[in-house]
């Protein structure tokens, strides 16, 4: 990330907005920053609008201090009234009194002190940890904070959700394995499901009593998902499913799945798709785990042979599945962009700062520079995520901000890998044994998927170019052609 030049060998950053929020970071700022910098930071134009919002909503003051501080402190002004109406033009005016915000923060802290411990691997062991933690959240009334009580949620505001995320971010992530269930399937059910769907499925989903997966990609329909060939045909009061999906995360441990299938082959490929709820244990389902190089089996092939589901399990409108799938993909990118699919990503800069302090490398100016860059990158991603989540809370389908956050998460993963290697050293190669070595090794190895999972970087750039920058769309040779006349997917000669 580029920075403007100025004076000050070791500035102290104060981020203060009009509502009194204050964030202070000391001792890792890059050299030669100007005393006052209220314009957009010199990052890539791709994220200019996010940085412009940061400059607008968070006036940045930089004051030179001597000698440099060796630690990092972050302080939030909890005594100010919380408002978020400026974070998104579509958001609602959630307001929380200071005493309410502080009381909820203390409640969350107490809960986390009692329940947030240990780091699970990306395996069924970590899934068990995630389910146990989610059960405790449910018991404490803290699960599904922004979802209605009648559907198993807590019925609270996005400010409560933000406070929880801030506090939870101080602990190792224990709910990574629930990302698809809660970050993708849950909002889609809430948005497109019928009243019966919501009352039947959402309470168990929120409490993690059931696991859900997403079934989109096929052997011949990856980036071009609309070329899918899995069929759904109505037979009386049931839909009959036939076809194959691939790279389905956690299908082998899921109870239900959200599926898109072709319901009208006479329509253009984007127009003849519908979305369904599927029982993963139904007769005719075959799930084959794919063994990965790291020893895990997160991904699966899923085969449908005359699988029957109730007619009422159509999710949303018939033949409107592509629009709904697009919404789900945006939810996926929000889920990935606001956290990461790599494991150790909550406040990654803070964690690496602690590592640098403990091993005596924080005094290295190149290390400090890269840590500050990482902090700035995470700040941008967080602001994009705040905008997108505000849109979601206001009832809007996530827009291209989801792609911005997802792409920025991939950029962070690429940037952080060599930095982690320099800071952690040989522990990056540790696979088993005591300490945090195994955690960093798995982070680095799994971070390579960030450029592909949830949509490739190239797809994200296409979305951003089309929907953010307003560039001309790529030509579509098959536009308005019936799907049955196309040579797509595995039909290609």
365 in Cβ contact with 9 (< 8 Å): no
- What is the full DSSP assignment across 262-302? ES-TTSBTTTSEEEEEEETTSTTEEEEEEPPTTS---EEEE
Three-class secondary structure of residue 86 per DSSP: helix
CA-to-CA distance for 258 and 325, rounded, in angstroms?
Answer: 10
- What is the full DSSP assignment across 209-272? SS-EEEE--BTTBSSSGGG---EEEEETTEEEEEEEEES-TTGGG-SEEEEEEES-TTSBTTTS
Q: Please, how many CA atoms are within 13 Å of residue 185, restricted to the half-sphere of its CB?
A: 33
Question: Which two three-digit tokens encode residue 61?
Answer: 């003051």
Nearest CA-CA partner of 379 in 19, 43, 30, 33: 43
Residues facing residue 245 across a β-bridge? 302
Q: Look up residue 345 and give its DSSP letter.
A: -
Q: Is 332 a catalytic residue?
A: yes
Task: Write down the catalytic residue from 177, 332, 378, 391.
Answer: 332
The torsion angles phi and psi of 299, rounded to 5 degrees, stand at: -105, 160
Q: Which residues are catalytic?
A: 332
């Amino acid at each position: 990330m580029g920075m403007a030049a100025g004076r000050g060998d070791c500035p102290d950053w104060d981020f203060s907005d009009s509502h009194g929020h204050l964030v202070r970071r000391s001792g890792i700022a890059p050299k030669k920053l100007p005393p006052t910098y209220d314009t957009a930071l010199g990052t890539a134009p791709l994220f200019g609008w996010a940085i412009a919002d940061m400059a607008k909503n968070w006036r940045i003051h930089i004051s030179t201090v001597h000698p440099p501080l060796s630690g990092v402190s972050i302080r939030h002004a909890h005594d100010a009234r919380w408002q978020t109406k400026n974070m998104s033009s579509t958001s609602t005016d959630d307001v929380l009194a200071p005493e309410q915000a502080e009381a909820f923060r203390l409640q969350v802290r107490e809960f986390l002190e009692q329940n947030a411990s240990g780091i699970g691997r990306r395996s069924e062991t970590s899934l068990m940890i995630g389910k146990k933690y989610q059960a405790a959240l449910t018991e404490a009334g803290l699960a599904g904070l922004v979802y209605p009580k009648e559907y198993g949620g807590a019925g609270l505001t996005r400010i409560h959700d933000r406070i929880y995320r801030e506090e939870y971010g101080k602990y190792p992530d224990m709910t990574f394995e629930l990302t698809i269930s809660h970050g993708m399937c849950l909002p889609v059910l809430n948005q497109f499901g019928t009243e019966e769907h919501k009352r039947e499925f959402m309470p168990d989903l929120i409490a993690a009593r059931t696991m859900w997966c997403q079934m989109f990609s096929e052997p011949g329909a990856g980036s071009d998902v609309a070329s899918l060939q899995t069929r759904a045909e109505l037979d009386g009061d049931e839909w009959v499913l036939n076809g194959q999906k691939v790279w389905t995360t956690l299908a082998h441990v899921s109870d239900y799945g959200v599926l898109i299938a072709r319901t009208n082959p006479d329509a253009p490929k984007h127009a003849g798709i519908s979305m369904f709820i599927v029982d993963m244990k139904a007769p005719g389902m075959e799930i084959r785990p794919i063994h990965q190089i790291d020893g895990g089996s997160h991904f699966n092939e899923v085969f449908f042979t005359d699988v029957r589901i109730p007619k009422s399990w159509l999710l949303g409108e018939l033949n409107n599945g592509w629009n709904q799938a697009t919404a789900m993909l945006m939810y996926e990118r929000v889920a990935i962009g606001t956290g990461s699919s790599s494991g150790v990503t909550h406040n990654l800069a803070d964690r690496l700062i602690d590592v640098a302090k403990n091993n005596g490398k924080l005094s290295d100016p190149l290390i400090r520079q890269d840590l500050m860059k990482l902090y700035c990158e995470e700040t941008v991603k967080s602001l994009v995520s705040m905008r997108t989540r505000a849109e979601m809370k206001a009832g809007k389908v996530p827009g291209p901000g989801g792609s911005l956050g997802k792409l920025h998460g991939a950029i962070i993963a690429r940037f952080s890998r060599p930095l982690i290697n320099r800071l952690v050293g040989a522990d990056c190669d540790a696979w088993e044994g005591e300490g945090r070595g195994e955690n960093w090794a798995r982070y680095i190895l799994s971070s390579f998927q960030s450029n592909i999972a949830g949509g490739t970087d190239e797809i994200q750039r296409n979305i951003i170019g089309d929907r953010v920058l307003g560039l001309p769309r790529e030509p579509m040779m098959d536009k308005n052609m019936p799907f049955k006349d196309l040579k797509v997917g595995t039909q290609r000669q």
